[in-house]
């Protein structure tokens, strides 16, 4: 079968490899669609992400749909938690000490024709969810988890700084959750356009004359919650500046240089709460229900998400 492996920064090679053999409790899958995530781009560009580095040639890809041997279309949860450690047992499998994740570290991901994966991590898809939409379930799960962490209340004002695929999903979810005003930013005009089309009250290009920060604090109050989904310290700094005293900043983005910084005095005087998003916890079933009920995932928008059909 054809397998795409990352050998070093920018060095992807197509190999012919034997088909994997499913272990106990695993299903043999034919991969039908794989989404390319910002974290895959970190691996591709830097041969690592944060403090994880490429140890051996790795197959990337963790957002994917597949077909089982019985012909069932499934979305695949890329996380395999152990289910037994303290963190799994307390309901936080995203903190599992022995977590295995597709396309990360030792575990090959989905950019290949076949993959063996635990049956407990497979979610059958109804016809209401296409393969490209199915690929968006993982990023949608992350976005749901991020919004969960914010404990949004109806009528709150919200910022979404960074409108890539995850930011745009968060933008839609906070409106569902009852946000009053939503302020969105990005450095790319087509993403700002997408944010506006998806209902942001204010969508501005970072660097525009009137920034979101000025708008958000124009009433002297600031935003209740700001999601930083750019992975850039500029966006973190802007989130700190735009949050209201006592507000929350949810850090979703992954910085390239593995450092997050902001002006301490501003954050301290406001007594801000920071939360960091670690993958997606148990959100897959909710993500599936949402998409089945007509929630629009942004997959079909050109230039926002790359999807590969192996």
Q: Give 272 or 277: the residue with its C-beta nearer to Zn ion.
A: 277
Least separation in angstroms between residue 60's CB and Zn ion is 10
Q: Give 81 or 164: the residue with its C-beta nearer to Zn ion.
A: 81
Q: Give 172 or 204: the residue with its C-beta nearer to Zn ion.
A: 172
54 to 5, 58, 107, 226: CA distances (angstroms): 11, 7, 11, 33
Residues lying near Zn ion in the complex (CB under 5 A) = 37, 81-82, 85, 88, 96
Dihedral (Cα; 160, 274, 208, 302), 10-degree rounding = -30
Quote the CA–CA distance of 239 and 225 in Å, as a whole number: 9
Least separation in angstroms between residue 37's CB and Zn ion is 3
Least separation in angstroms between residue 125's CB and Zn ion is 18
For residue 251, count other CB atoms closer than 10 A to its CB: 22
8 Å CB contact between 183 and 242: yes
Least separation in angstroms between residue 17's CB and Zn ion is 24
Least separation in angstroms between residue 83's CB and Zn ion is 6
Q: Give 96 or 238: the residue with its C-beta nearer to Zn ion.
A: 96
Q: Look up residue 101 and give its two tokens.
A: 């994740």
Q: Give 99 or 240: the residue with its C-beta nearer to Zn ion.
A: 99
For 166-208, the three-class secondary structure string (H helix, E strand, C coil) is HHHHHHHHHHHCCCCEEEEEECCHHHHHHHHHCCCCEEEECCC
- Residue in the block written with tokens 């709460």: 273
């Amino acid at each position: 079968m054809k397998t795409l492996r990352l050998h070093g920064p920018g060095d992807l090679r197509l190999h012919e490899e034997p088909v994997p053999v499913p272990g106990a409790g695993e299903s043999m899958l034919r991969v039908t669609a794989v989404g390319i995530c910002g974290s895959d781009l970190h691996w591709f560009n830097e041969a690592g992400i944060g403090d994880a580095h490429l140890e051996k040639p790795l197959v990337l890809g963790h957002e994917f749909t597949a077909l089982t041997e019985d012909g069932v279309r499934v979305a695949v949860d890329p996380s395999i938690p152990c289910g037994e450690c303290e963190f799994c047992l307390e309901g936080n499998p995203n903190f599992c000490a022995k977590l295995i994740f597709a396309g990360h570290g030792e575990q090959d991901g989905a950019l290949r024709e076949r993959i063996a994966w635990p049956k407990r991590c497979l979610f059958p898809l109804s016809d209401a969810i296409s393969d490209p939409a199915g690929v968006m379930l993982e990023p949608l799960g992350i976005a749901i988890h991020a919004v969960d962490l914010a404990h949004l209340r109806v009528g709150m004002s919200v910022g979404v700084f960074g409108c890539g695929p995850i930011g745009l999903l968060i933008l839609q979810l906070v409106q569902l959750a009852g946000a009053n005003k939503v302020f969105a930013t990005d450095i790319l005009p087509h993403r700002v356009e997408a944010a506006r089309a998806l209902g942001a009250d204010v969508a501005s290009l970072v660097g525009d004359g009137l920034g979101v920060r000025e708008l958000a604090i124009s009433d002297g109050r600031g935003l209740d919650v700001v999601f930083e989904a750019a992975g850039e310290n500029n966006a973190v700094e802007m989130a700190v500046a735009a949050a209201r005293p006592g507000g929350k900043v949810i850090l979703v983005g992954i910085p390239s240089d593995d450092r997050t910084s902001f002006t301490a005095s501003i954050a301290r005087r406001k007594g801000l709460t920071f939360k960091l998003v670690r993958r997606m916890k148990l959100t897959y079933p909710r993500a599936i229900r949402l998409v089945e009920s007509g929630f629009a995932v942004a997959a079909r928008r050109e230039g926002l998400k790359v999807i590969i059909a192996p």
